[in-house]
Structures are given as structure tokens and as C-alpha cells.
Chain A
């Protein structure tokens, strides 16, 4: 791959201050939150305008040089891993909230806008942006869109795709398209829905129209401690069977509880084998009625301790522990892999038993934090990258967990995407025909395969897998892997 000619043209068309091509400048862009992979790009362009992004994409297409668009680099599947000698388009400076219309409950944002900043801007109007990946303090809407990010509220509120109404995007061959519209309804194929989750392979979103929701009048949150994971899993089934639709249903196991307690003192019962968090929200009288019923259901599920959040501060403390659990578990081990498989909710108990057995078989500790409401598991496999063979064993264990998820009728990824990490599992989930059609769709949209080359498809060249420890931002406690 020769990018010298491209770099020359880029220097002519992009202000020098926006172009990084020195080794020391490129180093921070060599990997994302999946730190086991690393690749050095030829250059990083810090795009400041949508027009610059279009220019870069067109040049990359002309010169047949692959590019990777990137936000804050929090991808856990290696989704924003650069292509060796390719171009990285950094979008963090493209961070304007173009408009926010409370009456129509929509916000138009550029891709570099940080997830939580959308809700912050909407708060004065009593609105918020629902998708809440744990990295929402730093991850960007562009990255959320590319990987169809989730969070703790997906059963009731859906994923990113359900909150993106319209997209202005530059396709990999430089064509600028407008997909979807401002209405919640649409006619014709749902092209915006198709674009979301395409992992950067369909090009770069330049402007995104988001649906905002009214902030619920009231939240009620309860935390229940159990002597076994199975008991907590059964409680989830009973809550659902009771006809309740909680906004969030989360479970943490003892290892995760210990770590979270050590990190943020959330006030969790430290000796619990499993902790269940259930949250209801909506109109006050409705929530109060449902919550009284929820507490009866929880009491009947034989927890040994139940705590109801007394106020907003109490609720925030419960969630802080939950959202920091991943980075906290990182304190227990020099390295870890986060998995993201999904199983049908009724198989949660079975899945957890299998994970415990696999943990024993491989001699590696596995902590569990998961979105019980939607069956999205996040087993955290702890290993030491300095111990020969440890990373390989951890990867093998992770692979067995994904195989189990597929076997139970689930998915290899609930919200992190395939990226580079799970490419090899695609053939286990999809038939050769399914994959062939996906490849043809990609060809139709990106004939030269310049956009995020090497991601999602199983036959792409594998980058070198090495252990590099945690991401610097993660060590600083800014991001977490979930």
C-alpha cells in the first residue's frame, strides 16, 4: 500500500495543524479500548469540518488507501483499530450540537459529540437521550452509531438504532447521502436503520438526527442480594413473569461486587454471591403501584437483603457502582478481556453455570456483570499478559463462551460489535450465504473496501495480537470496558 501520494495531497488540502504523521503523534491512535490489538496508521487527520471529512474520504477512495473513522476510541471490539499505513479520521473536533428542538424532541448532532452531552443539552427541556453505554462520559455519538451501542436500558428502550432518525453520511466512495428523516415514522426502506451498526464499513456519518425522550417523572430503584447467581437469575424471570417492564435489570457477581466496592464504595453487600438491581420509571402513581408489586415479587424470590434507594443520591450511588464495575475489576488483574455475548433471558442461569465451569477448566477467574433484562452477558476474563500463554488461554475461554451463546440461540455481540475481535465467530452465527450477501452489500457501497477494512468480515487479514495492558484512559478511570 502506498500512501505517499495521498499524504502529499492531504497536506495540500488539510491545514497542517490538523494532520499528524510523526511517530509520537500517531502513538495514541494505534489502538482503541481493545488494547490487545495495535496498528500504526500513516497519518491521523483531526477533521474540524464535515467538508474536510468528505475531502479525506474522496482522496482515500481515489488513492485506494483504507481509512478508519474514530471518535474517542472506546471500542471494545477493536472497531476503531487503525489499518497499518492507512488513514485515521479523528472526529472529536466535529462536535457541534447543530440544533435541539424540544417540541419535536429531536437533536441534530455531529459525530464527535459525546453521548452524555446530548442529554446535558436536553436536560433544561425535561428531555434526555436514552442509549447509555457505560462509557457515555467519553464515547461519541458517531461511534455509538457505527456500532449500534446499547447500555443498561435496551429491553425497554432499544439500542442506538432505535434512537437515530436521520443520517447525513459520506459513503466510502465520496458520495454524500441523506438517509431517514426527522419524523419517528418513515416510508420506503429504513436506510438509516440499516446504516446504524455497519461498523464504519458504509462510510462516515457527518450529521445525525437523534430522538429525545421525556425524562420520567419518577425512578424507583431496588437492590437485592442473593446467596447464589441462580437465585438472582430466577428473580429476573419472576419480575418479567409478573408483567413488569423495568427500565433496567442488572446482575453482578461477587467478584464484580468486591471490585466495585473497593473502587467507589457503592454500599453493596460485600458477601453477596449475586446482586440484582431493578429500576422502574414513569409517572409517579403508576411507578409507586408497580414498585409495591415489584417488592413483593423480590421478597418472594428469597433474597437475604433488600435495599430500596431512598433518594436520587442513593440511586446515583447504586448506579455508580454498577457502571464502574468493569474498570474496578481491572484493579484485580493486570489484564482482562470483556465478552459481550447474548443469550435468551430464560437461559441466563444455564449460561452462568457454563461460564463458571469454563473458568475452572481454564484456571482463569471470570467476573460477571450483565444486563439481565436483555440477556446480554459481560463475562470479564482476568489474565496476566506477562505470563506466557495466558492471553491465548483467555482468548480460547472467551471463544467457548461465544460458542455457548450461539448454541443457546443468542448472539456473539449485544452491543460492542464484531470489530476485529469477533470476526472469526461470524461463520458460526451466519451461513456462508448470509456472509456472501453482506459482502456483496459492502461491495455495492464500498467497491474498493477502503472504509474500516479488516473489520466484521471473517476472512480479512488478521492484525497482530499482543498484550499491552489497559488503555491509558482506563487506568485514569475515565473509560470503562462495557
Chain B
């Protein structure tokens, strides 16, 4: 029995519906990799979805699969890799046990989203149980579909507050045969941001485009290319010539580097982990706002995604985000309010919440 409430383990859709109807307040949990989102709340039953696991349909030629929400990402990645395919939005914590449902509810994509898009670009349908125990289908199992209201979009980033995902369908793509990464020591943050701006308008199809920091807090840009192994060395050489500098990483180094990125292994233990959506022009102001705080940073997806390791009080970070007009999501850390900073569309979200969960079976969205 977890602190704050009981745990109900479910292994079927009917069991999820039953749990919603018979508990007063509950929160779904998958692999528990995002502790700020799955930690037991007062008087709230934890719905353990790890038993609701497995691939239901996968026809590689369709570029589509359907799986139960509690399926570990690792299981899926293995099944897809057997057919040369992958999850192009590159979700974090694959090897650490994250599940499909938890990844959707948290709304997480990783560095690899740079090439083809994020979670919202690959989720094509879902079945979920709302706060009234109703099993609802949204979207479909084909890559192109314009029928009905896309509630599966709402469930992205909903933190389990609107419904419990039970079954999800994704578009997938063939994975590049091989990868190669160029590291450019930018010297200054301004130079790193300029480099990302140049690459954003350049001819190179980048798989990942991140700014990382070394032990002395000096920024470096990582540019990852992927594709046919026969022409990859030529492409890397062409990129290096275009940039005028850069150090190519060895193949094993490349793999290790991006595996660590996926695991957020560069973050020291004990810091809170916060995701911040932003754009390239907001990177420098955020850097300024974080200066001297001891925050660990990584900017991914061409400056669209900041990962912050926050050592201090989260209220302090929230105040800084407010000043910049930014929003954040606390993934790891002690908090009951994981959404911090500036929010948009709250009134519409509240109307939707009242419709799908009129009895507040799930925690508040705010």
C-alpha cells in the first residue's frame, strides 16, 4: 500500500472502467519514471496500468501500430526495430521503463523529434476511459483521418486529469540505417544560438539539433544526421564544410551520447527535472534568467525544447518562467502542481474537464 492511498492494478479495459466507477479519486500510473506526475496524492487511489500491456496490431507495411497503454516503450522499440522501424518522436526514459500511456499523458518527445515531429505528430488514435467510466474512441488506426473531434490530442499532456488511456495507435517510420553526429564547440551561447538559426534554414535534414554544456558550462552544438550508411560520411563532410568546423563523433560515441540524452542521464541525481517548451529566440533570455542558479540545462530540437535540472525551490523557477512568459512541466521532483509558469487556454480546458470528469475523479488540471 502506497503512502496516501491504495493501489489498484488493472489488466483489462473493463477493470479500468470499474476502478473509475468504484473509487472516489484516482490517478493512473505506468512505469513511474516521472515521479512528479505519478507520486501518490492524498486520498487518491493509484491505478497501476502496467498489467494493461502488449502490442495489439502491428503491420509494418502500414507504418502503424496499436498497443495497450501500459506497454513499456522498450517493448515497442524492440518490436519496431525488428522491422527497421522506430518511434520518430524519440520519447525519454525508454530503457528506464516509461510506458506509452505515461509518455502521452506527460506529452513527451525527445531530441529526435527534430527530424519528423513530436508526439502530437505521431499519435493517430486512442481509446480512453473518462471520469464517468465511459470507454471512448477517438481518431483511428490509419495515418490520415478527419472524422470526429480529436480527443486523443487532448489527452496529450493531460497528466491523467481528463481520462485514462487504455489503447493507443501511432504512426511510425523506417529508422535511418545509421547515424553520425558532429560536435561544434560554440564558445558562447550567442554563437550556439546563431548556429541553430543557420541550421534551421539550411539544407541539412537533421535528426537532432541540441545545445549541451560541458563541465565548465561552455556550450556546444550537437548536430546528428541519419540515413544511408553509404552516403553518411559524405553528408557529414559536407555539413562540416558548410559550418567551417566541427568534430565528428565515432559511431559508438554517437549511440552512447543519444542514449544518455534519452535517459536524461546528464542530470545529477536529486535535481528536479522540468520540461520547458520555447523557441530559439527565447533561449538566450532563459539562459540569462537561469544564470547563477546552478540550473543544469539542455536545449533540444533546434531550441524548441529545454530540459532543466533545477536544484532549488520550484516556486523560484516558476517565478522566473512567469517573467519570461514561458510554461513548464515538472517531471521529477516534489510537487503537487506539476504545471508551472504561464498557461494558455485554461478556460477551454476547464470546460472540457467538467465534461469528461464532472465528479472530479481525477486530480485538478491546474
List residues of chain A with CB under 8 Å of any chain B CB.
Answer: 101-106, 125-127, 147-148, 150, 154-156, 158-159, 161-162, 166, 171, 175, 177-194, 196-198, 214, 216-217, 237, 240-241, 243-245, 282-286, 288-290, 340, 342-346, 371, 374-376, 409-418, 422, 426, 429-431, 433-434, 436-438, 440-445, 456
A282 touches B205 (CB 8 A): yes
B157 touches A437 (CB 8 A): no
A-B contact pairs, 10 of them (CB 8 A): A104-B279, A148-B150, A183-B279, A190-B120, A191-B348, A214-B201, A216-B203, A286-B205, A286-B231, A456-B148
What separation, in Å, do the CA atoms of A191 and B157 have in the docked complex? 10
B200 touches A344 (CB 8 A): no
* Least distance between A2 CB and chain B CB atoms (Å): 28
Which residues of chain A come closer than 8 Å to B352, judged between CB atoms? 189, 194, 441, 444
B278 touches A183 (CB 8 A): yes
B329 touches A187 (CB 8 A): yes
A187 touches B141 (CB 8 A): no
B281 touches A103 (CB 8 A): yes
B149 touches A198 (CB 8 A): yes
* Least distance between A355 CB and chain B CB atoms (Å): 17
Q: A189-B365, A426-B147 are in contact. List 12 more A-B contacts (CB 8 A).
A: A104-B280, A177-B347, A188-B344, A188-B365, A193-B154, A194-B151, A286-B228, A371-B144, A376-B144, A437-B356, A440-B355, A442-B149
Among B20-28, B39-47, B131-139, B246-254, the stretch that binds chain A is B131-139
B210 within 8 A of A: no
Q: Which 5 A-B pairs have the closest CB atoms?
A: A193-B153, A185-B277, A183-B277, A187-B329, A217-B203
A412 touches B149 (CB 8 A): no
List residues of chain B with CB under 8 Å of any chain A CB.
Answer: 59-64, 84, 107, 109, 113, 116-118, 120-121, 130, 134-138, 140-151, 153-159, 162, 173-174, 197, 200-205, 227-228, 230-231, 234-235, 238, 275-281, 301, 304-305, 327-329, 339, 343-345, 347-349, 351-352, 354-356, 365
B345 touches A162 (CB 8 A): no
Chain A: CB-nearest residue to B366: A188
Chain B: CB-nearest residue to A244: B174
B277 touches A187 (CB 8 A): yes
What separation, in Å, do the CA atoms of A436 and B134 have in the docked complex? 10
Chain A: CB-nearest residue to B64: A344
Chain A: CB-nearest residue to B327: A187
What separation, in Å, do the CA atoms of A437 and B118 have in the docked complex? 27
* Least distance between A114 CB and chain B CB atoms (Å): 20
What separation, in Å, do the CA atoms of A389 and B63 have in the docked complex? 42
What separation, in Å, do the CA atoms of A102 and B130 have in the docked complex? 41
What separation, in Å, do the CA atoms of A429 and B151 have in the docked complex? 15
Chain B: CB-nearest residue to A373: B143
Which residues of chain B come closer than 8 Å to A182, judged between CB atoms? 279
Contact of B143 among A175, A241, A374 (CB under 8 A): A374
B305 touches A187 (CB 8 A): no
A189 touches B157 (CB 8 A): yes
A193 touches B146 (CB 8 A): no
Which residues of chain B come closer than 8 Å to A198, judged between CB atoms? 149
Whether A183 touches B145, Cβ cut-off 8 Å, given contacts A161-B150, A194-B153, A241-B61, is no
A103 touches B280 (CB 8 A): yes
What separation, in Å, do the CA atoms of A418 and B66 have in the docked complex? 24
Which residues of chain B come closer than 8 Å to A166, judged between CB atoms? 344
A185 touches B142 (CB 8 A): no
What separation, in Å, do the CA atoms of A178 and B325 have in the docked complex? 14
B142 touches A434 (CB 8 A): no
B118 touches A184 (CB 8 A): yes
A181 touches B327 (CB 8 A): yes
* Least distance between B264 CB and chain A CB atoms (Å): 15
Contact of A240 among B61, B203, B231, B355 (CB under 8 A): B61
A290 touches B228 (CB 8 A): yes
B142 touches A410 (CB 8 A): yes
A437 touches B140 (CB 8 A): no
B154 touches A194 (CB 8 A): yes
Contact of B116 among A156, A178, A283, A437 (CB under 8 A): A156
Which residues of chain B come closer than 8 Å to A177, judged between CB atoms? 344-345, 347-348
B344 touches A180 (CB 8 A): yes
What separation, in Å, do the CA atoms of A342 and B231 have in the docked complex? 36
Which residues of chain A come closer than 8 Å to B304, judged between CB atoms? 183-185
What separation, in Å, do the CA atoms of A413 and B139 have in the docked complex? 11
A346 touches B157 (CB 8 A): no
Which residues of chain B come closer than 8 Å to A411, judged between CB atoms? 140, 142, 144-147
* Least distance between B120 CB and chain A CB atoms (Å): 5
Whether A285 touches B234, Cβ cut-off 8 Å, given contacts A104-B279, A237-B61, is yes
What separation, in Å, do the CA atoms of A413 and B147 have in the docked complex? 6
A414 touches B146 (CB 8 A): yes
A345 touches B62 (CB 8 A): yes
Whether A150 touches B146, Cβ cut-off 8 Å, given contacts A125-B201, A175-B347, A289-B231, is yes
A154 touches B143 (CB 8 A): yes
* Least distance between A186 CB and chain B CB atoms (Å): 5
Which residues of chain B come closer than 8 Å to A105, judged between CB atoms? 200-201
* Least distance between A448 CB and chain B CB atoms (Å): 14
Which residues of chain A come closer than 8 Å to B142, judged between CB atoms? 342-344, 374-375, 409-411, 414
* Least distance between A285 CB and chain B CB atoms (Å): 5
Whether A433 touches B228, Cβ cut-off 8 Å, given contacts A191-B154, A191-B348, A344-B59, is no
B136 touches A437 (CB 8 A): yes
* Least distance between B36 CB and chain A CB atoms (Å): 12
B141 touches A409 (CB 8 A): yes
Which residues of chain A come closer than 8 Å to B329, judged between CB atoms? 187-188
What separation, in Å, do the CA atoms of A180 and B147 have in the docked complex? 22
A430 touches B143 (CB 8 A): no
A434 touches B203 (CB 8 A): no
Query: Which of B59, B144, B158, B235 has the largest number of chain A CB atoms within 10 A?
Result: B144
* Least distance between A185 CB and chain B CB atoms (Å): 4
Whether A162 touches B120, Cβ cut-off 8 Å, given contacts A177-B348, A411-B147, is yes
